[in-house]
Amino acid sequence: MTEPVIDRALVELRGVSKRFGGTQALDEVSIEVRSGEIHAFVGENGAGKSTLGKVIAGIYTADRGGVVIDGAPVDRWNPGIAQGRGIAMIAQELALVPDLTVAQNVFLGAEEHRLGVLRRNVDERFAALDAEVGFGLDPRARVRDLRIAEQQKVEILRSLARDARVIVMDEPTSSLTAHEMSQLEDLMRTLRDRGCCVIYVSHFLDSVLGVADRITVMRDGRRIDTFEAAAVSKHQLVTAMLGRELDQAYPDRPAAPGADQAPVLVARSVRTRTGVEDMSFEVRPGEIVGLLGLVGSGRTECLRAVFGVDEIVGGAVEFGGRDWTGRTPKHSIDAGLILVSEDRHKDGLVLQRSVRENIALSSLGARALGGVIRSGQEKREALEVARSVEIRPLDIELPVGWFSGGNQQKALLGKALAASPKMIILDEPTRGVDVGAKRAIYELIVRLATEGIGVLLISSEHEEVMELAHRAYLVSEGRTFAEIIPTETTVEDVLFQLFHVASGEEAAA
Ligand SMILES: Nc1ncnc2c1ncn2[C@@H]1O[C@H](COP(=O)(O)OP(=O)(O)OP(=O)(O)O)[C@@H](O)[C@H]1O
Ligand SMILES: [Mg+2]
């Protein structure tokens, strides 16, 4: 192996512009990424980060400007050519084949007989690759059965299997646990030290500051600045991203409902076949209640069962004073119990349809009953909802798939609001959303509670629950084991309890 040459430009973009309809996604962007660096792209939703990554990876070709690889301009550019030049991208919207296994996805289309090397058993090659990064994935599991965090790991292995020397990771950490995130950061460092360039697109500025060598800030399709990570503060980054100072991150918590109020949603010792052992909680109208746990603790699974997606095999659920055990999602939606799931594509949005249609889908059932869909009204309502969640650009006739990741998340929330919920369950509502838009979502949560709607909130950013919820339950291994009042404790204390229980120290004591 030859010594990696550090600080050589691997990919250079010169004055690249890219337009989608009326949106200037990239505007004269010049940038170079070098061997031996972790180069982060940060910016608000819709700033152009993914588009920039996709031009680098050959998925999009620029309208104007050029791509230079290893010092030589390229005249043709597509994903195949880019891959041949050692450039891979882990897209924000994962692109795995759900019906194939983990190992099949990892090696799909990879040149395995290069240099005449004997094709080794796929399981064996997989094990070697997986051991290198320590993910511990089951090669034979079907991708469709994996959680998003696991699917992201499969994507990462896919690019490693291709010996990429430039790897664009578009929000790879958005649904990983803290531990998985630090594993991934270690992996990025390993790749860098081998002379690769890792392009790291993320909204987790702390992680970016901790791991990146250089940070490029994008805003409105333009490259605003590129900083040496060691010489820039989080405050400077946020200000460059927004083009202004950020107001306070969280709105004030609304007043808590009286303890005498009857709960709108109750779970009593719920058990499922999906890993929920014994979960109990209640939510009153106008109350924001959090579930705090590590990824994989069973929070999502419990909520799916309460909503009616998965079967409940023990315990009971009550909604609006009625027994709600074993209902279907349709029952729940019709009665105003709404789940906004963490996987916006699988469970939430129809990408080819417009924002208006997606928003209307949730309330269409009721309206179509009369046989006629009042389209003028539908349009006005959809626009109002889209505005309240700050979808940008505010054009509800565009297909949802055309919007940036964070704006798709806002569309999903809009869809839930249009269904006139009595009780809303939010699973990772700010995943992939930028700092400015997060604040808009927090305000929305507070507004819902103020209007008397019960809110159940799951977030892996524990701070969100701690800053917004009136009460929260701690969850580990499928059980709710404690209840806390966020204003009376700290994130550190919560984490301590979560890890303490998860590591089984309690049982040993
Ligand atoms: N395929 C497409 N068709 C139409 N418009 C697009 C397409 N891809 C991106 N855009 C638009 O280009 C702009 C830049 O989008 P991009 O996905 O690059 O943003 P981003 O910085 O990655 O945002 P996020 O943080 O939300 O992922 C957005 O306004 C988006 O709506
Ligand atoms: Mg993006």
Give yes or no: residues 111 and 163 share one domain: yes
Q: What is the pTM of this model?
A: 0.67
Domain CATH for 300: 3.40.50.300
Residue 285: predicted pLDDT: 97
Claim to verify: residue 489 and residue 379 sit in the same structural domain: no
Q: Is 51 in the pocket of ligand 1 (CB under 6 A)?
A: yes
β-bridge partners, 89: 168
Ligand 1 nearest atom to the CA of residue 92, by list position: 27
Domains: count for the chain: 3
**CB 90 within 8 Å of CB 176:** no
| Contacts of 84 by beta carbon, 8 Å cutoff, 6+ apart | none
Peptide bond into 429 cis (omega under 30): no
Tokens of 28: 């004269």
The pLDDT of residue 367 is 44
Residue nearest to atom 19 of ligand 1 (CA): 46
In a domain, 447, yes or no: no
459 and 509 together in one domain: yes
Tell me the C-alpha to C-alpha distance, in Å, between residue 414 and each of 64, 241, 359, 366, 427. 35, 25, 6, 17, 14
Question: Quick one: 66 and 211 in the same domain?
Answer: yes
Q: Say whether both 402 and 428 belong to one domain.
A: no
Asked, for residue 446, whether it belongs to a domain, the answer is no
**pLDDT value at position 324?**
97
Same domain flag for 159 and 21: yes
pLDDT in tens, 208-266: 999 999 999 999 999 999 999 999 998 899 889 888 776 667 999 999 998 889 999 99
CA distance 480 to 294: 12
**Cα radius of gyration rounded to whole Å, the chain:** 24
Q: What is the 20 CA–ligand 2 centroid distance (Å)?
A: 14
Distance 190 CA to ligand 1 centre (A): 30
User: Is residue 49 located within the same domain as residue 177?
Assistant: yes
- With beta carbons less than 8 A apart as the criterion, state whether 159 and 187 touch: no
Helix (H, G, I), strand (E, B) or coil at 440: helix
Does residue 436 line the site of ligand 1, with CB under 6 A? no
Distance 50 CA to ligand 1 centre (A): 7
Query: Relative to the alpha carbon of 24, which ligand is closest?
Result: 1
36 CB within 6 A, ligand 1:
no
Ligand 1 pocket test, candidate residues 391, 402, 430, most atoms within 8 A of CB: 402
| Residues whose CB falls within 8 Å of the CB of residue 297, separated by 6 or more in sequence, listed in order | 475, 476, 477, 478, 498, 502
CA angle 298, 490, 44 (to 5 degrees): 75
Whether residue 37 is contained in a domain is answered as yes
Verify that 348 and 328 share a domain, yes or no.
no
Query: From the CB of residue 172, how many other CB atoms can be counted at a distance below 10 Å?
Result: 26
Q: Is 78 a domain residue?
A: yes
Measured CA to CA, the distance from residue 377 to residue 388 in angstroms comes to 17
Query: Looking up tokens 């058990």, which residue turns up?
Result: 271
Residues 318 and 373 in one domain: no
**55 in a domain, yes or no?**
yes
Q: Which residue puts its alpha carbon closest to atom 27 of ligand 1?
A: 405
pLDDT given at position 371? 41
Q: Looking at the domain assignment, is residue 156 inside a domain?
A: yes
Residue written as tokens 């882990």? Answer: 90
- Counting ligand 1 atoms within 8 A of each CB, the residue from 403, 407, 408 with the most, and so the one to mutate, is 403
| Amino acid 417: pLDDT | 87
Q: Is the beta carbon of 391 within 6 A of some atom in ligand 1?
A: no
Q: Is 445 contained in some domain?
A: no
Q: What confidence score (pLDDT) does residue 455 get? A: 98
Contact yes or no for 19/63 (Cβ under 8 A):
yes
Contact present, 417 and 387 (Cβ < 8 Å): no
Domain identity same for 225 and 311: no
Q: Are 9 and 34 in contact (CB under 8 A)?
A: yes
Q: Is the dihedral of CA 239, 408, 32, 188 positive or negative?
A: positive
**Cα(80)–Cα(498) distance, rounded to whole angstroms?**
45
Q: Which of 303, 335, 330 is nearest to 317 (CA)?
A: 303
Q: Are 20 and 32 in contact (CB under 8 A)?
A: no
Check whether residue 415 and residue 458 sit in a common domain.
Answer: no
229 plus 271 within the same structural domain? no
- Is residue 1, in this structure, part of any structural domain at all? no
CB 303 within 8 Å of CB 357: no
Residue where a domain terminates, one of 209, 242, 275: 242
- Please tell me the distance from the alpha carbon of residue 406 to that of residue 328, in angstroms, as a whole number: 29
Q: Looking at residue 248, what is its pLDDT? A: 67
Low-confidence ranges of the chain (pLDDT < 50): 1-2, 4-5, 113-118, 365-372, 505-509
pLDDT of res. 349: 86
Atom 18 of ligand 1, nearest CA residue: 48
For residue 166, how far is the Cα from the chain centroid?
A: 23
Q: What are phi and psi of 38, to 5 degrees?
A: -105, 115
Determine whether the shortest distance from the Cβ of 49 to ligand 1 is under 6 A. yes
46 lines ligand 1 (CB under 6 A): yes
Question: What atom in ligand 1 is closest to the CA of residue 53?
Answer: 18
The predicted pLDDT at position 120 comes to 60
DSSP three-state, residue 461: coil
Domain span holding position 387: 344-420
Q: Return the residue whose CA atom lies nearest to atom 7 of ligand 1.
A: 402
Distance of CA 281 to CAs 55, 183, 301, 445, 484, Å? 47, 33, 14, 19, 12
